[in-house]
Every structure is written in C-alpha cells, then in structure tokens.
Amino acid sequence: MTWKYSTPGIPEEEFMRGQVPITKTEVRVLALAKLKLMPHLHVLDIGCGTGSVTVEIALQCPQGRVIAIDVDDEAVSLTKGNVQRFSLTNVEVLTGPAPEALPDVIFDRIFIGGASQRLAEVVSYTKDHLAAGGIMVANTILLESTCRLLNLLEEQGFQQIECISVNIARGEKHSGWMMKALNPIYIINACRGR
C-alpha cells in the first residue's frame, strides 16, 4: 500500500484492523496538524493502537524517526503490520507500559493516544523527553482524562496549552442521506518552554 498524496488523511479501511480502536481519519488529520510536523523530526507515539497515527507521522517525516509503543500485544502487532503495509523504514515499534518502557531519548514531538491509567507519569516523562520548543499532542475521550491532562500540563509548566472538542458526523445513504455522529474527541496540544 502506498499513500500517493502529500496530505494526511488515509481512510480507515486502508489499515489492518482488529479489536483495537483506530483513530478516525478526520480526528487524525486534526491531531497531525496540531503536531506541526516537518520532514526531519524525531517523534514518539505513546499508545499507538493500530498504528494509523504512527504511519501518518512517518509519511510526513521521511527523514526523521518515529518510535511507537503500546502495552497491548494486538496493538503492537497491528502497528507493525501497518508499518510494513505502507513500506515504512523510519519506524521502530516497541512493546511495554508507559512510562517504564519508553526510551530515554529526546523527541521533537510526542503524541499521546493512550495512557489514561498513568497520565501523571506520562506527562512527567513528556516534559523530560521533549526538546525545548517541542510539541505534545494528546487525544482524549473521557472528560475526566481531558481535565486531568490540562491540569497536569499547567502544573508541569507547559506553554501555549490548547484544547479543542471534535464532533464529526459522516453522511450515510439509507432511504435518504443522514449524518451519523462519531464519538466526540478532545485534542490537546502544548509546547515545552525553551
């Protein structure tokens, strides 16, 4: 599989899927925009799930490096399969819990797709492993996780903290056209001070 376009937005059906949730295409595009990617960046994807975000980041950062990690074996297997499916050579996929299994290196960007059980520790890791001026982006579903993450980012001294609520509805044709809503998602982004 190749993605011949220079923009993100690979349809969900192009990815190998299993029981692991996938970041919906429209939400993925917005999260990637908040990451402000460049071709040479070193990026970490925490809680990579199916690897849809990992794949899109790797395509946008062809001279960079992407490390993806998940604690779930099926998620790791799907991410590896999707990395192979898109013929990517700039991705490393790790298995293990965050933050214990996270690499001790500095990243230009960090994406958090899952870590609600260890959010405080993951935010602390992010602060210590994000380059000065680097950007972190997180997708949350639960209001409790969203509020907690915003508070943790403030406590840890992150700057330019933003939160948007994304409500997507897709048109479906039955007896006529109707809009079918997807679950609301919160996308949070912040910068590490210089």
Tokens at 50, concatenated: 């199916």
- Residue 79, pLDDT score: 97
Q: What is the mean pLDDT of residues 10-16?
A: 95
Q: What is the pLDDT of residues 34-61, one digit of tens each?
A: 999 999 999 999 999 999 999 999 999 9
Tokens at 97, concatenated: 């819990």
Alpha carbon 58 to its chain's center = 12
Whether the predicted pLDDT of 113 surpasses 80: yes
Q: What is the mean pLDDT of residues 87-111?
A: 96
User: CB atoms < 10 A from the CB of 10, how many?
Assistant: 20
- Residue 158, pLDDT score: 97
Q: What is the mean pLDDT of residues 141-160?
A: 95
> Is the Cβ–Cβ distance between 137 and 112 less than 8 Å?
yes
Which of 52, 56, 92, 48 shows the shortest CA–CA distance to 73? 48
pLDDT confidence tier of residue 100, bands split at 50, 70 and 90? very high
User: CB atoms < 10 A from the CB of 6, how many?
Assistant: 7
Output the 3-class SS for 136-158: EEEEECCHHHHHHHHHHHHHCCC
- Residue 118, pLDDT score: 87
Q: What is the mean pLDDT of residues 71-89?
A: 96
DSSP annotation of 87 reads T
Tokens at 142, concatenated: 């639960």
